[in-house]
């Protein structure tokens, strides 16, 4: 069986008896927003640029190319998601967000090798109490090409565009050590409330804006 990618769908056991306590405690606490300006001023402040770690290499395997996602990729992407994550992905919090979120197809990327789709990353529109943001995921790579740089290359291509167009921040749930070279950091406790349980050590953000704070929903 294929192993799941390190993306926002590769989450630990989040059954209520293991994680519900965290989620409920966040709901009953006051939100802690890292705001030093008014919301309107913060929205007008300069957006951060995409600056990946200097040590991060984005060299692709020979023959692999990246391009924007097109409608005809849909079946191959669905097959890749099924192989990478299985049916359990539908119960996860990130999937709940995507159910009500609009696809940001202009940012989506796929990796192609010999005419076959071997990687995909998708993005979706979010808001946190009215402030817009972006959800990254799923990120999926053909198991035969794991650890070859395809996943990070896909994300880097998209994140550069998101930063250049002044969009963001970008939110995901995943392994911090894997995503940190791409500029992701753990969200401060109490800043965001998602519509389901999430391991707080895996809730990450990049291209951050302090005004992005509150209850997160797909739009």
Domain region containing 131: 16-218
Cα–Cα distances in Å, from 58 out to 84, 164, 181, 214? 22, 19, 11, 34
CA dist 2 and 211 (Å) reads 39
Residue 180 inside a domain? The answer is yes
Average pLDDT over residues 183-210: 93
Asked if the model's pLDDT at residue 53 lies above 80, the reply is: no
CATH of the domain at 169: 3.40.630.30
- Report whether pLDDT(122) > 80: yes
Q: How far apart are CA 67 and CA 56, in angstroms?
A: 21
| Of the candidates 60, 79, 90, the residue with the CA atom closest to the CA atom of residue 154 | 60
For residue 5, being part of any structural domain is answered with no
pLDDT in tens, 71-85: 999 999 999 998 888
- Determine the average pLDDT of the residues in 19-29: 37
The domain tally of the chain equals 1
> Residue 8: what pLDDT?
42
> What pLDDT is stored for residue 92 in this prediction?
73
**What Rg do the C-alpha atoms of the chain give, in angstroms?**
17
Query: Angle 27-30-33 (CA atoms, 0-180°, nearest 5)?
Result: 110
Q: Is residue 3 part of a domain?
A: no
Task: Evaluate if residue 88 carries a pLDDT over 90.
Answer: no
Is residue 199 domain-resident?
yes
CB-count exposure of residue 43 (10 Å: 0-12, 13-18, 19+): middle
2 within domain boundaries: no
The mean predicted confidence, pLDDT, of the chain is 80
Which residues, including other chains, have CB under 8 Å from residue 3's CB and lie 6 or more apart?
84, 143, 146
In this structure, of 2-11, 137-146, 176-185, 199-208, the range with the lowest mean pLDDT score is 2-11
The verdict on whether omega for the bond into residue 138 sits within 30 degrees of 0, i.e. cis, is yes
In a domain, 154, yes or no: yes
How far is residue 210 from each of residues 31, 98, 182, measured CA to CA in Å? 13, 23, 19
167: pLDDT confidence band, cut at 50, 70 and 90?
A: confident
Phi then psi dihedrals of residue 32, to 5 deg: -120, 95
Give 147 or 66, the one with higher predicted confidence.
Answer: 66
């Amino acid at each position: 069986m294929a192993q799941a990618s390190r993306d926002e769908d590769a989450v630990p056991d989040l059954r209520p008896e293991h994680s519900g306590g965290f989620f409920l405690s966040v709901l009953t606490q006051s939100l802690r927003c890292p705001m030093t300006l008014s919301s309107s001023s913060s929205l007008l402040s300069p957006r951060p640029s995409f600056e990946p770690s200097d040590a991060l290499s984005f060299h692709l395997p020979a023959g692999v190319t990246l391009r924007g996602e097109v409608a005809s990729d849909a079946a191959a992407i669905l097959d890749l998601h099924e192989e990478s994550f299985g049916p359990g992905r539908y119960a996860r919090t990130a999937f709940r967000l995507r159910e009500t979120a609009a696809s940001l197809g202009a940012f989506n990327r796929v990796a192609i090798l010999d005419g076959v789709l071997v990687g995909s990353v998708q993005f979706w529109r979010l808001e946190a109490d009215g402030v817009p943001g972006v959800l990254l995921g799923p990120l999926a790579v053909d198991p035969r090409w794991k650890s070859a740089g395809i996943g990070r290359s896909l994300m880097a291509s998209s994140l550069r565009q998101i930063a250049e167009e002044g969009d963001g921040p970008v939110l995901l749930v995943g392994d911090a050590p894997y995503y940190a070279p791409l500029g992701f950091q753990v969200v401060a406790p109490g800043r965001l409330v998602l519509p389901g349980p999430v391991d707080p050590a895996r809730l990450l953000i990049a291209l951050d804006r302090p005004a992005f704070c509150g209850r997160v929903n797909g739009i």
